Amino acid sequence: MSKQLQSDFDKLAKTSKFSNEEIQSKKNFLNNFIKKGFPSRKQEDWKFLDISQIIKKNISNLSYFNDYSQSNKIDPSIFVDGLEHNKIIFINGRIEKIDFNFEDQNKIEIIDETKKDISFDYENSLIDLNSAFTDKVFKILIKKNYSLKKPLIIYHSINDEIKSTNINLRLNFELGENSCLKLIDYFSNNSAKNFINIFYNFNLEKDSILKNYKIDKIINNNLKYSFNNIEQDNNSVSETFILSAGSDYFKNEINCNLNGEYSSAFINGIFSLKENQQHEIRTTINHLVENTKSYQLIKSVLGKNTKSAYQGRIFVNSKAQKTDGYQLSKAILLDETSEFNAKPELEIYADDVKCSHGSASGSLDENSIFYLMSRGLNYQQSKELLINGFLMDVVEKITDVEIKNLITNIIGFKQ
């Protein structure tokens, strides 16, 4: 594997427009990754779904080289209809377009941060892989007191030109004081098997609001890993919604540091898995100062041969008195081959806190189905109605009405 990595990296260095300095920093990341390798089930965080095994089984030999010097044609048919929005378009891991047409151009700045090092400690080797092979890293800066008029949609798509089987992408966001960003991560890549590795870093300053929606709905054979790091200052709010349904494998990881008082984080997620899918959500909320709040709700509906895992961790520092933390995960297993794993973890060092978690899993309630059938629905309809109701609960948590409608449509729920 290391030979392949090395030679693909050399190709990348040759074809791209990176400066020497940038290549050197990328090389360090590459060496780190070669040293650590892919994570495996030996690591606690990867216990339930072993990514190195899954890659081996599905892709066998990964190749990493993407030619970032050549641009790709944008296929407008992937765009979301019925909602005016700003766009960032990734094709084959290359940023093709950053378009903030609906916004005041003076309030948004795009900064090249390829040279900048990663600002927090991590053990995750996939971040090393990402940093070594990703294209230019840009930071989107939303200036003080500006709220984006329209949501921003990030499109992830792959065309036939792709050479590698691994795509790495990275973006940084900075939300200035009292600003607001609505972000939709939209996965429309329905190509053959690729391993897609995404890393976003968010920095939320005082009073800013981030609404972050991740939608993976179209059935595809890709393996995806997404890591979001969110740093929050006083009074800031982050809301993350994850719809995890399309890919063969998808692991969403959210790390949220509540650094400022009265900051709060909300994470809601849906797993809706059909045949042979394996998905995971892992969240870490670090309550580091007083009066912070977090809320998490994860629901799964699991079909044939599927497996979902939820690992949620609430950490409360000894300084973080008056913390309010809540976590709930529920799962419905539809088939005898489906499997649900959960590890809701609390790590608490302060006494004046309110922290709780709950987890429940089981099959659909036969009594409820009976109730609906006795009122004239057939078995299939009653089942669907119950599942809809079960998942709608999470969709209802979305605070933005426009996006809530969009997501309801995408999921295909009947109100």
Partner 1 sequence: MDTREKDIEKLKDYKYGFTTDIENIKAPKGLNEDVIKFISNIKKEPKWMLDFRLKAYERLKLLKEPNWQKPKYPKIDYQDLYYYSAPKSMKDKPKSLDELDPKLLETYKKLGIPLQEQARLNGIAVDAVFDSVSVATTFKGELTKHGIIFCSMSEAIQKHPDLVKKYLGTVIPVTDHFFATLNSAVFTDGSFVYIPEGVKCPMELSTYFRINASETGQFERTLIIADKGSYVSYLEGCTAPMRDENQLHAANVELIALDDAEIKYSTVQNWYPGDENGKGGIYNFVTKRGLCKGNNSKISWTQVETGSAITWKYPSCILKGDNSIGEFYSIAITNNHQKADTGTKMIHLGKNTKSKIISKGISAGLSDMTYRGLVDINSKAKNSSNYTQCDSLLMGNKCGAHTVPYIKNKNFDSTIAHEATTSKISEAQLHYCQQRGLNPEEAVGLIVNGFCKEVLQQLPMEFAVEAQKLVGISLEGSVG
Chain residues in the site for partner 1 (CB under 8 A): 44, 318, 321, 331, 333-363
Cβ proximity to partner 1, 78 vs 350, nearer residue? 350
Residue 21 CB neighbours (<10 A): 10
Torsion angle (degrees, nearest 10) of CA 199, 200, 201, 207 = -160
How far is it, in rounded angstroms, from Cα 29 to Cα 52? 19
| Least CB distance to partner 1 at residue 315 (A) | 9
Q: Nearer Cβ to partner 1, position 136 or 343?
A: 343
Q: How far is the CB of 400 from partner 1 (least distance, A)?
A: 31
Secondary structure E strands in 303-387: 307-316, 324-333, 339-348, 354-362
CB of 343 to partner 1, least distance (A): 5
Q: Which two tokens stand for residue 137?
A: 């890293």
Measured from the CB atom, the residue of 139 and 322 that comes closer to partner 1 is 322
Nearest residue (CB) to partner 1, 44 versus 160: 44
Other CB atoms within 10 A of residue 370 CB? 11
User: Closest separation between CB of residue 168 and partner 1, Å?
Assistant: 31
Q: Please, are residues 98 and 6 in contact by the beta-carbon 8 Å criterion? A: no
Please compute, for residue 193, the number of CA atoms within 13 A of its CA located in the half-sphere on the CB side.
12
Nearer to partner 1, 108 or 333 (CB): 333
Residue by residue, DSSP assigns 65-123 as: ---TTS-----GGGSPSSS--EEEEEETTEEEEEE-TTS-GGGEEEEE-TTPPP-S---
Q: How near is the Cβ of 309 to partner 1 at its closest, in Å?
A: 9
Task: Identify which of residues 144 and 343 has a Cβ nearer to partner 1 in the complex.
Answer: 343
Taking the alpha carbons at both ends of the chain, their separation in whole angstroms is 50
Taking the complex as a whole, how short is the minimal distance between the CB of residue 90 and partner 1, in angstroms? 36
